[in-house]
Copies of this chain bind each other. A is one copy, B any other.
Amino acid sequence: MPTRIFDKRHAAPGTAPGTLRPSAQRVERVTIHVIRYSPEDFDEREVASLEECAALAPPAAGGVTWIDVVGLHDIELVARLGDTFGLHPLALEDVLNTGQRPKLDEYDDHLFCVLRDFHGGETLISEQIALFLKPGLVLTLQELPGDSFEPVRERLRRGRGRIRAAGADYLAYALIDALVDQFFPLLEQQGERIEALEEELIAAPTPETLERIYRLRRELLLLRRAAWPEREVIGALRREETALVGREVKLFLGDAYDHAVQVLDILETYRELAGSMLDVYLSSLSHRMNEVMKVLTVIATIFIPLTFVAGVYGMNFDRMPELHWRWGYPASLLLMTAIALGLIVFFRRRGWF
């Protein structure tokens, strides 16, 4: 089954804005993963409920809390999250409406991004990531278990580099950067498919080649639909005049922005190649048809006149003087050879074989 382009998970038209409806894929159990850290401390745990989460001691001054919720079908939980952390109802609606386009909304005391995470494999599966940034707090909500954030968690655990010393804005950057960088292996995969298709196209195109080209274009469209607005989100974050994102982090966002531009650049190149491939496929089909037709034409046009000659001397007229000639039979064979040779010369001259 090919990847779906349109998530059938929109609200019924006309419902009030901010109405929370479940639309995400159902996971077995909603999990809440909490990481709290400061340059010195690191604490990671899975909590059973929001209450437990709220009951955790706040991180040390300057520390950061990252709450990662996996599973979005528990509307109650999301609503209470909104209450607990003062999140805007419109943003909460977008969290649940999982077919969103990546975007950035700025609210009074928090930023809200919608981003997308991809799960590779045979079929590309795209999952919506909602990210809230408040002072000292990053809140991410995802549909499905498994994400691109594991390396960031690893960096936090090891505590090396800048990440434990920096604030929540740096963590948000690191998460966004991980989502952008995940495009590279996906692109590499698509690049390999392109190279395989190119060889297939030249060597022996089949209808499966056509289907594969179509699928490739479809997936490139899907990737571009995510990559394009994510670039805008990062660009907007860089320009945003907000105290939530520090000057230092904006420099790093510039780096992530360059990566997003590079992703789009490669995607465009791939799209152009995929477009050319379809032309090549069609041309190559036409060429093969030409070859087939040439063989048919050469054989048919050589033998059809010969068969006619044989037919003539197979007629049963009483008076056909040739039939009684001494050399009639060899002469007829000679005639046929001459006709055949004449046609062969004709085709040679046309360069048909």
Contact = CB atoms under 8 A, between A and B. Distances in A.
A200 to B, nearest CB: 13
B14 A221 contact: no
A304 B299 contact: yes
Interface stretch (A38-46, A48-56, A75-83, A271-279): A271-279
Interface stretch (A28-36, A58-66, A126-134, A310-318): A310-318
Given A16-B155, A297-B292, A90 B251 contact: yes
Nearest to A179: B13
A286 B101 CA distance: 38
A338 to B, nearest CB: 15
B316 A326 contact: no
A90 B257 CA distance: 13
Interface residues of A, number: 125
B278 A278 contact: no
A301 B310 contact: no
Interface of A: 2, 4-6, 8, 10-19, 90, 93-94, 99-101, 103, 105, 148-152, 154-155, 160-163, 174, 177-178, 180-182, 184-185, 187-188, 191, 194-195, 198, 202, 204, 207, 210-211, 214, 217-218, 221-222, 225, 229, 251-252, 254-255, 258, 261-262, 265-266, 269-270, 272-273, 276-290, 292-297, 299-301, 303-308, 310-320, 322-324, 326, 328-329, 332-333, 336, 351-352
